[in-house]
Amino acid sequence: MPSSVQIGPFVLPMALLFMFAALAAASFIGRRAARRVGVDVEPVLFWSLVVGLGVARLAFVLQFSTTYRASPLAVLDIRDGGWQPLAGFAAAWLFAIAWQFKRPVLRKPLLSALLAGTAIWAGGLAAVSLPVEERKLPALAFTSLQGASIDLTQFEGRPTVVNLWATWCPPCVREMPVLHTAQVDNPVVNFVFINQGESAERVGSWLAARNLPLRNVLLDRESQALKAFEQRGLPTTLFFDAKGQLVSTRTGELSAATSAEKLGSID
């Protein structure tokens, strides 16, 4: 299953879509079950969601707290996708269970809603997390800023991070300093930056203006990489192990914390 889906001009992670589907199912089933006993289950479901999301984010922040010390306000920027879903899931369930002890009449509709939402959410995450067989670095050649032809397969043998980006893409611009720091701090990992559709002059001047001396900047004028990796949006970052096997994909902006999390999966 693809990690993201395009809806009009928007590219959304599949995990996020499954979360919305789970919420819709929980709300629908909860309302129907609540009508039979004459109660309103919506407030409890809402606060269970708030607690679950808050704990999921807090658990992630605590796990990677050292990366947030330099920029504490980054904790509030949830665009980086930094969550611990299982912690949030457990917190939401515990909150709802505690609430139903206060009002036993809520027990059946509340549990029906939670079970429905959990089934869809867990099933969706399992589907998205299924390993993709033999999704490896493709034998594609791109031109470096210096004019040399570079084949992606030459990066096999070491963990490799492939970032698909463009200078006109705001989240690409925001995450690039993070990726530059990661490249400097992780010399045993190959970082490959494949620009989509722009000229060497444009890319080179853009990097120079921002003092980003990146290594392995390649030019993909025909967007072959997006097609080869079956991706639809920018930025997309793919994480390969030393055998060249795809381990993880992130569609959207990376923070220092989410970068550290993904790098840990290919060590």
Summarised one tens digit per residue, pLDDT across range 200-237 is 999 999 999 999 999 999 999 999 999 999 888 899 99
What residues does each domain of the chain span? 4-129, 141-264
Average pLDDT over residues 85-109: 90
What is the overall mean pLDDT for the chain? 89
Summarised one tens digit per residue, pLDDT across range 182-204 is 999 999 999 999 999 999 999 99
Contacts of 230 (CB under 8 A, 6+ apart): 2
If we measure between CA atoms, which residue out of 221, 223, 220 comes closest to residue 232? 223
pLDDT of 59 higher than 90? yes
Residue 64: the pLDDT is 93
Contact status, residue 184 vs residue 154, Cβ threshold 8 Å: no
Residue 71: the pLDDT is 84
Residue 233: the pLDDT is 85
Q: Cα(67)–Cα(69) distance, rounded to whole angstroms?
A: 6
Summarised one tens digit per residue, pLDDT across range 16-55 is 778 888 889 999 999 999 888 898 999 999 999 999 999 9
141-264: CATH number: 3.40.30.10
Say how many CA atoms lie within 13 Å of 56 toward its Cβ.
18
Summarised one tens digit per residue, pLDDT across range 108-151 is 999 999 999 999 988 887 776 665 556 789 999 999 999 999 99
